[in-house]
Amino acid sequence: MSKIEFKPLTDDSLFKETFGREKNILFLERFLEIFFGLPKGSLRGKITVKMETTLEKTKDRDTNCRGDILIYMDDKIINLDYMNFLFM
């Protein structure tokens, strides 16, 4: 039987507070540039962020979801979640 490892709730809160606040958008921009292999400064002013937001469905068969951190970039929406990020 494998051991299940739980992450402290404080780690999740720190992640959200660091990357989910508009006042910290520069941290998020740089984090995404590194993660996606983009040149430094290429996302400057090109994204918006909302923390713990409901993503409304756009089609009848879609379901609503609550995103930890929703990042709006061009015509894409990224749901950045600490727990899912750890296991990617």
Give domain status of residue 60, yes or no: yes
What is this structure's pTM?
0.68
Give domain status of residue 27, yes or no: yes
Give domain status of residue 42, yes or no: yes
Give domain status of residue 4, yes or no: no
Give domain status of residue 1, yes or no: no
3 Cβ contact partners less than 8 Å away, ≥ 6 residues apart = none
Q: Hey, how many other C-beta atoms are within 10 angstroms of the C-beta on 28?
A: 21
Mean pLDDT of 13-26: 88
Give domain status of residue 43, yes or no: yes
How many domains, in total, are found in the chain?
1
What residues make up the domain containing 77? 9-86
Q: Hey, how many other C-beta atoms are within 10 angstroms of the C-beta on 51?
A: 15
Give domain status of residue 3, yes or no: no
Mean pLDDT of 28-40: 93
Structure confidence at residue 88 (pLDDT): 39
Structure confidence at residue 6 (pLDDT): 63
Structure confidence at residue 13 (pLDDT): 81
Contacts 24+ apart (CB under 8 A), 1-8: 7/82, 7/83, 7/86
Closest C-alpha among 86, 88, 70, 64 to residue 12: 86
Give domain status of residue 38, yes or no: yes
